[in-house]
Amino acid sequence: MGNQSIANGAVLSAHDISKEVSSPEGGLTILADVSFSIDAGESVAVVGPSGAGKSTLLALLAGLDLPTRGHVVLNGANLSDLDEDGRASVRADSVGFVFQSFHLVPSLNALENVMLPLELAGAENAREASLKIIDKVGLIDRWRHYPAQLSGGEKQRVAIARAFATEPAVLFADEPTGNLDSRTGSNIMELMFELNRSSTTTLVLVTHDHSLAERCDRILSLEAARLIGDTKESA
């Protein structure tokens, strides 16, 4: 395993994190002693078979759950030192999410969905900034449309615009093309990589698609709860 040193300047780092849960059969280890650090602006793919712990790792890195042992530092904050409100505050300041099921608010149009996190953060120019990023994702003619009036690819573009709108330090994407056909999925990923390149946002992508993973700067490979590989892709 390529042993990445954990740098102080990392935007995201996992320090010997383990996650164990109880089950009828006894204790179950979902992640065991995982360590790595990620620098600002990197694109990192997390790969591995079903049940390897990929989505659990994402939840721990984003502070949606806490490890049984070890800790995660996200944008300078040790998430294990914070209560639920504190972790929510770090997420609001530092994190964007894109899921395969879009998670748009059905009663809001495309523009209002993108504006939502900006308004929650108290941004004064929420509408102007949202229109700019909707234009960037190619939906300026569709901003008045509600999710039910949009195709799957358009919904995911809205979700990506919403995730990037707050200029998060880290964007977590969990199988973002899972509900899309291959051509639409390819266009969506092109868009995400382009936004990643043109901003300081770090992209952490859970995917089973190895051709997609290989387009990232780096691949973290999980198997049977352990990090078995940490490889940097050559430019």
pLDDT of residue 233: 66
pLDDT surpassing 60 at residue 225: yes
pLDDT surpassing 60 at residue 178: yes
What letter represents residue 99's amino acid? Answer: F
Q: Give, in order, the Cα–Cα distances in Å from 63 to each of 15, 99, 155, 196.
A: 14, 16, 25, 21
Dist. CA 52–CA 42, nearest whole Å:
23
pTM of the model: 0.86
Q: 57-109 pLDDT, tens per residue? A: 999 999 999 999 999 999 999 999 999 999 999 998 899 998 878 889 999 99
pLDDT of residue 187: 85
CA angle 201, 91, 199 (to 5 degrees): 10
Q: 118-140 pLDDT, tens per residue? A: 888 888 899 999 999 999 889 99
**Domain limits of the chain?**
12-232
pLDDT surpassing 80 at residue 7: no
Q: 39-65 pLDDT, tens per residue? A: 999 999 999 998 889 989 999 999 999
CATH 3.40.50.300 fits 12-232, yes or no: yes
Q: Confirm if 235 and 214 have CB atoms less than 8 A apart.
A: no
pLDDT surpassing 70 at residue 221: yes
